[in-house]
């Protein structure tokens, strides 16, 4: 079983890794991180903070864009070019294919994050900061975890959406909503309306809470959220969320026709 899953993961990773559009995106990402060096000149006496803030912001955005592009490439080839039918008749279970596909996509995102983080660390060292600051590394790790949750959600959305653009639009919507749910919940509590509160509660628990993974804003915060308990709970949340979404996706994928 593992051999089949890893075969699919490797295939998807190679496919994404060599895709020209994704290559260009990686180059842009590296340039964006490099730009933090220039922008930090604007913040006197807080250069290192500016580098970290801008660098982590770029890592988050480009990791998400890598996910969107990888998903779009995969879906286009599977649905429009019908590459999936030849693999689905092979001795592979559909959930194995789905897990392999998930691993291939997040491996692509991970590779991109590691590359961007390496560039950022060089710039931090150049600016006289500590590139091995544990908080920075944790912020990057949790950024990856956030995109991993989004990747499993994207696979679920691909079962519901009938077209590639449809899936991409849903994913962008989930990403935006995922950063806003906590604020929506607070607003709903203020209205005092039970129906609004109930609707927002459903959204809050169904849509992945992306703000949980946003550690970048806390790197310089004295009351930061870097306690082992918090990190443990967020990790548990992401593992459970990924397992649940991939299970639902596999059930829907089993019923899918090609």
Partner 1 sequence: MESVLEIKDLTKIYRSLDFWKNDRTVGIESINLTVNKGEVFGLLGLNGAGKTTLMKVILGLLKPTSGSVTMLGGSNDDIAVRARIGYLSELPYFPKYLKVHEVLDYFAEVLGIPGKIKDIRINEVLETVKLGKKSKIQVKNLSKGMQGRLGLAQAIINDPDLLFLDEPMSGLDPLGYKETRDIILDLNKRGKTIFFNSHILSEVEKICTRVAVLSGGRLVDTQAVENIMAKYGSMENYFIEKAPAGVK
Residues of the shown chain interacting with partner 1 in the complex, contacts defined by CB under 8 A: 3-4, 6-8, 10-11, 14-15, 18-20, 77, 81-83, 85-93, 162, 255, 257-258
User: What would the two tokens of residue 84 be?
Assistant: 């999936």
Shortest distance, position 3 Cβ to partner 1, whole Å: 6
Which of 82/183 has CB closer to partner 1? 82
Nearer to partner 1, 7 or 43 (CB): 7
Given the complex with partner 1, which of 13 and 213 has the nearer CB atom? 13
Shortest distance, position 118 Cβ to partner 1, whole Å? 24
Distance CA 108, CA 201 (A): 33
Q: Whose Cβ is closer to partner 1: residue 43's or residue 87's? A: 87
Dig out the tokens for 116 from the structure.
């961007």
| DSSP structural state of residue 132 | T
Q: Which residue's CB is nearer to partner 1, number 71 or number 139? A: 71
Q: How far is the CB of 101 from partner 1 (least distance, A)?
A: 13
Question: What Å distances lie between residue 174 and 25, 83, 179, 207, 228, CA to CA?
Answer: 22, 27, 9, 7, 28
At a CB cut-off of 8 Å and minimum separation 6, what does 203 contact?
177, 181, 184
Shortest spacing between CB 73 and partner 1, in angstroms: 9
φ, ψ for residue 72, nearest 5 deg: -65, -40
Q: Which residues contact 214 (CB under 8 A, 6 or more apart)?
A: 60, 142, 146, 179
What is the nearest approach in angstroms of partner 1 to the Cβ of residue 112?
17
Residues 6+ apart with CB under 8 A from 184: 200, 203, 204
- CB 94 to partner 1: min, Å: 10
In the complex with partner 1, which residue's Cβ is closer, 1 or 125?
1
């Amino acid at each position: 079983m593992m051999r089949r899953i890893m075969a699919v993961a490797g295939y998807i990773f190679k496919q994404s890794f060599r895709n020209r559009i994704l290559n260009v995106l990686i180059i842009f990402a590296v340039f964006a991180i490099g730009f933090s060096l220039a922008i930090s000149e604007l913040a006197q006496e807080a250069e290192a903070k500016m580098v970290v803030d801008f660098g982590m912001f770029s890592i988050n955005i480009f990791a998400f864009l890598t996910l969107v592009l990888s998903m779009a490439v995969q879906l286009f080839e599977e649905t429009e070019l019908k590459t999936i039918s030849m693999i689905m008749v092979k001795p592979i279970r559909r959930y194995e294919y789905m897990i392999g596909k998930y691993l291939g996509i997040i491996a692509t995102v991970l590779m991109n994050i590691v590359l961007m983080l390496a560039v950022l660390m060089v710039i931090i060292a150049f600016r006289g900061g500590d590139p091995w600051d544990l908080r920075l590394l944790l912020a990057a790790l949790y950024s990856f975890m956030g995109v991993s949750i989004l990747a499993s959600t994207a696979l679920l959305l691909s079962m519901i959406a009938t077209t590639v653009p449809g899936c991409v639009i849903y994913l962008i919507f989930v990403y935006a909503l995922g950063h806003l749910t906590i604020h929506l919940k607070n607003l709903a509590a203020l209205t005092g309306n039970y129906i609004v509160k109930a609707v927002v509660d459903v959204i809050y628990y169904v849509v992945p809470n992306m703000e949980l993974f946003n550690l970048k804003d806390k790197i310089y915060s004295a009351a930061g959220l870097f306690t082992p308990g918090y990190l443990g709970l967020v990790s548990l949340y992401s593992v459970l969320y990924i397992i649940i979404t991939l299970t639902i996706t596999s059930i829907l994928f089993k019923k899918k026709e090609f």
